[in-house]
Amino acid sequence: MSNQIFLCTSKNGKRVTYDPIHSHAATHLEDTPQLKDLVIEAIQNMTLKEDSIGTEIDMGRIVGTSDVVDVDSTDEVVYGIRKNRDKEGHAPFVKSRHGDPCSYVALHLVKQDDGSYVLSSTWIGTFSGDDEPFPNAPDATVRSKEFWNKRAFVYGSQEIQAGTETTKRPW
């Protein structure tokens, strides 16, 4: 884990790190500059005990806009593969909508053998809805197509790998 860098310490003294280059957390932190400070604020107020923590924290104020919004047939949607997410396949991006104001920060933390935690992913928004696998991902569910046919990332909110963008729905 030499590529991990220290992020902060939880309320109960657990060290939290993240991979600043290859992780999902890194891409979200790059795409949303204020997110790192929000993540640190949230984790410093958390007691970390479970092996895997997927949660959303209400920060008590608007902290940004959600990356994922509802879409319909009138929207302009394109598809692309996000940075560090080749295995997930194409994700939908909407060009005709903006993110909604949001007070939540979503966190996914994984306990390590030494008792510390790794922040594997984080974003502004809720955890449960926005974490549905994409239809072409290895872990896709029977709900994936229905979910992602009605939702999309706001275009520009996340980096799309060059050469992967298409207007044709890939599922």
**Per-residue pLDDT for 84 more than 90?**
no
| Mean pLDDT of the region 53-75 | 95
Strands 91-94, 151-154: pairing is parallel
Give the model confidence (pLDDT) of 107-141 as tens digits.
999 999 999 999 999 999 887 655 688 999 999 99
**Per-residue pLDDT for 160 more than 60?**
yes
Q: What is the DSSP string of 94-161?
A: ESS--PPEE-EEEEEEEE-TTS-EEEEEEEES-HHHHTPPPTTSTT--TTHHHHHHSEEEETTSSPBP
What was the pLDDT predicted at 131?
A: 65
What was the pLDDT predicted at 67?
A: 86
What was the pLDDT predicted at 7?
A: 98
Residue 103 CA to residue 129 CA, distance in Å, equals 15
For 148, what's the count of Cα atoms within 13 Å in the CB-facing half-sphere?
Answer: 25
Beta bridge partners of 119: 109
What was the pLDDT predicted at 85?
A: 87
Phi/psi at 122 (5° precision): -165, 150
What was the pLDDT predicted at 132?
A: 82
Q: How confident is the model at residue 147 (pLDDT cuts 50, 70, 90)?
A: very high
Max intra-chain CA distance, the chain = 51
**Per-residue pLDDT for 46 more than 70?**
yes
Residue 167 CA to residue 1 CA, distance in Å, equals 38
Residue 94 CA to residue 48 CA, distance in Å, equals 36
At residue 38, the 3 state secondary structure works out as helix
| Mean pLDDT of the region 86-109 | 95
Q: How confident is the model at residue 169 (pLDDT cuts 50, 70, 90)?
A: very high
Q: How confident is the model at residue 158 (pLDDT cuts 50, 70, 90)?
A: confident
Residue environment code for 61-74, b if the CB has 16+ CB neighbours within 10 A, otherwise e: eebbbbbbbebeee
Q: How confident is the model at residue 2 (pLDDT cuts 50, 70, 90)?
A: low
What was the pLDDT predicted at 31?
A: 86
pTM given for the model: 0.82
